[in-house]
Homo-oligomer: A and B are copies of this chain.
Amino acid sequence: MALNQNKPAQSTLDDIARKLNVTKVTVSKALRDHPDISLETKEKVKTVARELGYTPNFIARSLSLRRSGTIGVVVPKIAHHFFSTAVETIYDSALQNSYEVILMLSQENAQREALHIQTLLSMRVDGLLISLSKETKDLSLLEAVKKSGLPTVLFDRVVEKPEFSTVTTDDEEGAFSIIEHAIHCGYRKIAHLAGYSHTSIGRLRRSGFEKAMMKHDIPMHPEWIIEGGFAEEDGYHAFMNIYHSKNLPEIIFAVTYPVALGIFSAAREKKIAIPEDLDVICIGGSNYNKYICPTITCIDQPVQEIGKQAISILLDNVMNPGQNRIQKIKIPGRLFLGDTCRKKSA
């Protein structure tokens, strides 16, 4: 590929320096308001800089300073209420602290996730914020990152290792309480479209489900616990499986909001009315939940809070090198009462 041809020759410190018969050092200092430089020179330098449309070269600056002023973020998806909201919060907080964000999407693919983390490392980001893909099992890269000393915070989809700071909803408690709510409403035949148990949210939500069931002595059907992904299509397919088994539960607890919607789709196709014939609850909401029919009773995740805490813990470690404080934050979800799961206890 031809070099330096599509790229405009942006002006440099030297360009400014030459115009003023000084050196680039003087210019560099002047532009950064270094006390060394006289007011007069500063004025002149800044004027010429403006005339030339000078923009400092971030790349050169980063190389010289050995810090980039950027935070790397890896999430499974962005076209998704939880992540787009969290990411927006992360961007805002980072900007307030004068950090830039480099966002990468794993698309729920472990290999791509690893690639992106590598790229972020090579970009010499000052910190790393990760929410793991649904496929991620091999944690060696993550551990290498951690060992290298790069400040890292995991959020939402995490690993339960003592060496990582994590910020999550209290998934187990959330699942427990919504199931208990369903039981209080009189439901007994409860199915769970679970996430993969190698993911933190899958495991914890399922565990909360099981604990609530056991506490209230409700029998659990193995065929009513189906592991899968976190997307709409996963809910759709899992429901179809249950449907074809001819043994429908009264209510399905979906591991995520999109999975719940997938159930809606499938049920509609099979002419099963929600919540009359079959009820649905889940963990996580969406900003459109109030417009959905029926509105889903769910555990609302404090999405912005999660994003805010994650970036705040990260920046704390980035800006105070050497401290490496590890924090495990669990933020409780809140039960949102929608149109589903309204039956009275008998």
Chain A positions within 8 Å of B, measured between CB atoms, are: 1-8, 10, 53, 55-63, 65-68, 77-81, 84-85, 87-88, 91-92, 95, 100-105, 107, 112, 118-119, 121-124, 126, 144, 148-151, 232, 261, 264-265, 286-288, 290-293, 317-319, 321-322
Assembled-state Cα–Cα distance A119/B126 (Å) = 17
Asked if A7 contacts B150 (CB within 8 A), the reply is: yes
Question: Which chain B residue shows the least CB distance to A65?
Answer: B3
Supposing A6-B318, A292-B291 touch, asked if A79 and B68 sit within 8 A by C-beta, the answer is no
Chain copies in complex: 2
Residues of B within 8 A of A123 (CB): 58-59
Question: Which of these, B56, B102, B105, B261, contacts A122 with CB under 8 Å?
Answer: B56
Residues of B within 8 A of A105 (CB): 88, 91-92
Residues of B within 8 A of A112 (CB): 95
Residues of B within 8 A of A151 (CB): 6
Kindly name the residue among A53, A68, A79, A287 whose own CB sees the greatest number of chain B CB atoms within 10 A.
A79
Asked if B55 contacts A59 (CB within 8 A), the reply is: no
Asked if A7 contacts B149 (CB within 8 A), the reply is: yes
Supposing A88-B77, A292-B288 touch, asked if A59 and B68 sit within 8 A by C-beta, the answer is yes
Asked if B60 contacts A63 (CB within 8 A), the reply is: yes
Nearest CB of B to A310, in Å: 16
Residues of B within 8 A of A321 (CB): 1-2, 5-7
Asked if A121 contacts B10 (CB within 8 A), the reply is: yes
Question: Which of these, B77, B124, B322, contacts A58 with CB under 8 Å?
Answer: B124
> Given A59-B124, A92-B107, A100-B102, 5 other A-B contacts at CB below 8 A?
A1-B67, A56-B122, A57-B122, A59-B68, A232-B287
Question: Which chain B residue shows the least CB distance to A151?
Answer: B6
Assembled-state Cα–Cα distance A151/B124 (Å) = 26
Nearest CB of B to A255, in Å: 18
Question: Which of these, B66, B91, B92, B265, contacts A7 with CB under 8 Å?
Answer: B66
